[in-house]
């Protein structure tokens, strides 16, 4: 299981990047964005391609994630497969994550803008300070404070680990955009302005396909 300290370390790093605009650090590409957020969306990654050709060439969302249960308030569950036909923005977040709060107003805007085009933001809570399931009452209170207009669910530690494995990023916020056919069209790591902008551009393209 990915430890809370790892997530919080990435969260802190993302705050630094947002605050100062850039950060020199070691990474696979040597860029500041890579140091905070992993390889930039669009970069070639092992076992994952981002082709410029037909959308059918994009990889399907990992089977474990497509079938992973997401728990809604009240105890009902659903999966990504159940929402096939919609453009989904799957956003991993936590109440204790400061960069998550920075990013959330942009997710609210996207939900408002594209709600009628079959687009849905789903907030996947990774757990509380101890990486135990977050209380739904606390999540509702948080959603009210942040004026969130999208669905919040809980995922288990295994699903959190599976997202980290697929994205090659053990931190939050982490967003994965899936098209109407269940293909993974973008992975966005952290809450830097550049990642948020790329995420918005990807969603704008997909809702009009």
35 burial (CB, 10 Å; 0-12 / 13-18 / 19+) is buried
- The CATH number that applies at residue 202 is 3.40.30.10
Q: Which residue has the higher pLDDT, 145 or 53?
A: 145
Segment among 10-14, 127-131, 152-156, 200-204 with least mean pLDDT: 10-14
**pLDDT for position 25:** 20
Query: Does 1 score more than 90 pLDDT?
Result: no
How much is the pTM?
0.78
pLDDT per residue over 105-129, tens digit each? 999 999 999 999 999 999 999 998 8
Judge contact between 33 and 194, C-beta under 8 A.
yes
The pair phi, psi for residue 99, each rounded to 5°, is -60, -30
Which of 27, 50, 61 lies closest to 169, judged by CA? Answer: 27
Q: 133 is in which domain, residue-wise?
A: 4-206
Give the lowest-confidence range in 13-17, 41-45, 101-105: 41-45
Report whether pLDDT(168) > 90. yes
| 121 bridge partner residues | 89
Query: How many domains, the chain?
Result: 1
Least confident of 30-34, 35-39, 52-56, 122-126: 30-34
Percentages helix, strand, coil for the chain (3-state, rounded to 5) are 45, 20, 40
């Amino acid at each position: 299981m990915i430890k809370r300290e790892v997530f919080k370390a990435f969260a802190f790093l993302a705050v630094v990047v947002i605050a100062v605009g850039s950060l020199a650090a070691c990474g696979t590409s040597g860029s500041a964005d890579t140091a905070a957020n992993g390889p930039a969306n669009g970069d070639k990654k092992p076992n994952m391609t981002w082709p410029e050709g037909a959308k059918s060439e994009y990889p399907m969302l990992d089977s474990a994630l497509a079938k992973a249960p997401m728990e809604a308030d009240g105890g009902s569950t659903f999966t990504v497969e159940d929402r096939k036909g919609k453009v989904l923005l799957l956003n991993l977040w936590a109440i204790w994550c400061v960069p998550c709060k920075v990013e959330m107003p942009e997710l609210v805007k996207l939900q408002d803008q594209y709600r009628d085009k079959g687009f849905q933001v789903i907030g996947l809570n990774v757990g509380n300070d101890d990486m135990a399931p977050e209380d739904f009452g606390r999540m509702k209170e948080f959603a009210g404070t942040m004026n969130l207009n999208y669905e919040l669910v809980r995922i288990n530690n295994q699903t959190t680990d599976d997202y980290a494995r697929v994205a090659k990023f053990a931190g939050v916020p982490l967003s994965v955009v899936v098209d109407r056919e269940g293909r993974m069209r973008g992975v966005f790591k952290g809450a830097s302005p550049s990642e948020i902008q790329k995420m918005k551009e990807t969603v704008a393209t997909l809702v009009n396909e």
